[in-house]
Chains A and B, each alone.
Chain A
Amino acid sequence: MKNRTAYFGVFTALALILSYVETLIPVNLGIPGAKLGLANLVVVIVLYKMNFKEALLLSVTRVILTGFIFGNLFGILYSLAGAVLSLVVMNALKPGTSLSVIGVSIAGGVSHNIGQLIAAMIAVETYQVGYYLPALLFAGLITGALIGIVCRDVLKRIKKLSFV
């Protein structure tokens, strides 16, 4: 229990590093806002190994920190909306056990993009942004699946570790 704060710090650092690594990979899918979402790897793992509260805190901390370091204010707003919606959806689907980590991660990836889009709609005050919805759904599906596959393998290997 007393190691909780230390673990949380390590996970935050890991998420930050992954966000940084992501900025080094020039993946341009031609869709604004579409990213691999490497940092979500840590968020999903924390969601499974710790709990919703920790994962939410980590996600919000991560978004704000990376936003100030690599992005801008708009980026923070969009990401925050995406991150929170994604976590809520993932947390809702997780205990049902009808979905594996991959399914939960896919749902998370897709809802992350939907959350961002909603934030963008509110910020730009136009529904034309909805034009990107199909592309973003597809992007969320692919990135969510990739992150989910990695998560499944990582979780398999750290089964015996407890961070709580």
Chain B
Amino acid sequence: MKKNDWLLAAGILAAAAILLCFQMLGKTGKAAFVSVTVDGVLYGTYSLCEDQVIKIDDTNRLEIHDGFARMEWADCPDQVCVNHRSISRDGESIICLPNQVVVSIENGESSEVDDIAR
């Protein structure tokens, strides 16, 4: 291997590292938010970056923690939304049918790539 080969490799590594840094920095600045609608009416939007607990009409309680949103508590009998996994990616949602509550992520990180391209 010649000296220039190492230089090329180092340059590519540096470029990858710099891009990665930019992405890391950019990610925290990205305004991913959680929108909550009750009965089809917008109840509120909340930042996904801040840890918080949101009470929704005394029927549900939504917890945002570490960039993930999770239904912490619901007064309904089936508890489907409470058992739903945490959501963080763009377009994901938790729906509580009995209380007509829809929690969805907007403007978040895009979902996993599908199987179109291998």
Contact = CB atoms under 8 A, between A and B. Distances in A.
Nearest to B27: A131
A158 B4 CA distance: 24
Given A75-B117, A75-B118, A106-B12, A98 B19 contact: no
A106 B9 contact: yes
With most chain A CB atoms within 10 A of its CB, the pick from B8, B9, B19 is: B8
Contacts of B8: 99, 103, 106-107
Contacts of B20: 134
Query: Interface residue tally of chain B, by bracket?
Result: 10 to 19
A124 to B, nearest CB: 9
7 contacts: A32-B117, A103-B1, A106-B5, A106-B12, A133-B16, A134-B16, A137-B12
Contact of A72 (B9, B17, B118): B118
Interface string B8-33: 11001101110110010000000000
7 tightest A-B CB contacts, nearest first? A103-B5, A137-B16, A134-B20, A134-B16, A134-B19, A98-B4, A100-B2
Interface in A50-109: 71-72, 74-75, 78, 98-100, 102-103, 106-107
B110 interface: yes
B105 to A, nearest CB: 15
Contacts of A74: 116-117
Given A74-B117, A120-B117, A102 B13 contact: no
Contacts of A100: 1-2, 4-5
A72 B118 CA distance: 8
